[in-house]
Amino acid sequence: MSNLNLFTSAAMQFSGFQKGFKEADYVIVGVPFDATSTYRSGARFAPSSIREASLNIETYSFRSGIDIEDLSIHDAGDLHVSGDVNETLRRVEIVCSDILSNGKVPVFIGGEHTITFGAAKNLRSRFAVVSFDAHLDLRDEYMDRKFCHATFMRRINEIVKPEKIIEIGVRAACKDELKYVAEAGNIIYVTPQKIENAGVKKISEEIKDLLVDCEEVYLTVDMDVLDPSYAPAVQNPEPDGLSIGVLLNILSLICDRRIVGFDIVEVTPHYDNGVTAINAAKIIFEVLSFIYKSRLFILGDQPA
């Protein structure tokens, strides 16, 4: 990896099962950045908390039949972040480009949700951004900022220009955001109420149909997509969210080999006793196992 000067070593390594960078298929990068937080700060402490949780939960996935022990994972440590959001996003973009150019899947542990913009800038072909989030994050400006956790998805749409943005679990928005969705034409959102009424299988099939023409998918999970009863330690909690089971079931049905990058964001660990970090680590385990399984099927192999 050519940008090692941008990293500091982590005290703990994610999952505890490590390969060297050259041998790895999946590269973990912590991004301890929360400079634009406007309610609860503290997401900068999430990478270490999620790593610790990952060392203390079991690694086998009953949904995929895959054990994380069998995956080739490299934890590169934490990105040196800047207090300036644009500089931090530039560093995320550089590191993501480096990982992708080596044929590996970057997995970013935030940090605030703004970091997704830096990663998504590397996608070039017909691609979609699939976001699990309580919020649309499509404001044009928030608290006098053009780049922040409440505006980054609009900046992605304007600057990076994905074919589609699909936002799942949305239940918090302002009128201007809904107007922007109606005018943009390429943004689809799915509420928890729709998931409850239609069912996980039907919603997942609809999402897969929306993605059928996309060559690449960037997946981002804001932990506030979960109901606060499952994830109380997030930056901007919203009632009436998804359960951890519903989230994982949808992910199990839509994750495939086209996912070229993934992040999980907005855990603020000091607001609970560790349950949010544990769920975040579990989500990473499951998503990686789903991606790995989909690639095994392409190669004609299957897990035992």
Q: Which amino acid would we find at residue 222?
A: D
pLDDT exceeds cutoff 90 at 280: yes
pLDDT band, residue 3 (cuts 50/70/90): confident
Tens digit of each residue's pLDDT (9 = 90 or more) over 114-155: 999 999 999 987 999 999 999 999 999 999 999 999 999 999
Note the pLDDT of residue 52: 97
Flag whether pLDDT at 1 surpasses 90.
Answer: no
pLDDT for residue 105 is more than 70: yes
pLDDT at residue 8 in the model: 84
Measured torsion, CA atoms of residues 168, 246, 112, 22, in degrees rounded to the nearest 10: -100
What integer is the mean pLDDT of 35-51? 95
- Residue 229's pLDDT band (boundaries 50, 70, 90)? very high
Q: In the chain, pLDDT over 90 holds for what percent of residues?
A: 89
Quick one: what percent of the chain has pLDDT higher than 70? 96
Q: What is the DSSP letter of 4?
A: G
Residue 37, SS3? coil
pTM for the model: 0.95
Q: In the predicted model, what is the mean pLDDT of residues 68-86? A: 95
Query: What's 4-298's CATH class?
Result: alpha beta
Amino acid letter for position 33: F
In the prediction, which pLDDT does 50 show?
98
pLDDT of 100 above 90: yes
Q: Which residue has the higher pLDDT, 126 or 224?
A: 224
The token pair at 225 is 């997509």
- What local confidence, expressed as pLDDT, does residue 4 receive? 62
Q: Name the pairing type of β-strands 187-190 and 164-168.
A: parallel
- β-strands 105-110, 259-265 pairing: parallel
- Cβ atoms of 264 and 230 within 8 Å: the answer is no
DSSP result, 91-127: HHHHHHHHHHHTT-EEEEEESSTTHHHHHHTT--SSE
- Assess whether pLDDT exceeds 60 at residue 34: yes
Is-cis flag, bond preceding 111, omega within 30? yes
Residue with tokens 């099939």: 205
142/159 Cα distance (integer angstroms): 18
* Average pLDDT value over all residues in the chain: 95
pLDDT of res. 298? 59
DSSP annotation string for 150-209 = TTHHHHIIIII--SEEEEES--B--HHHHHHHHHHSSEEEE-HHHHHHH-HHHHHHHHHH
Q: 182-201, pLDDT tens digit by residue?
A: 999 999 999 999 999 999 99
Checking if the pLDDT of 300 tops 80, the result is no
Give the start-to-end residue ranges of the domains of the chain.
Answer: 4-298
Which is nearest to 87 in space by CA: 141, 154, 147?
A: 147
| Structure-model confidence comparison of residues 204 and 4, the more confident one | 204
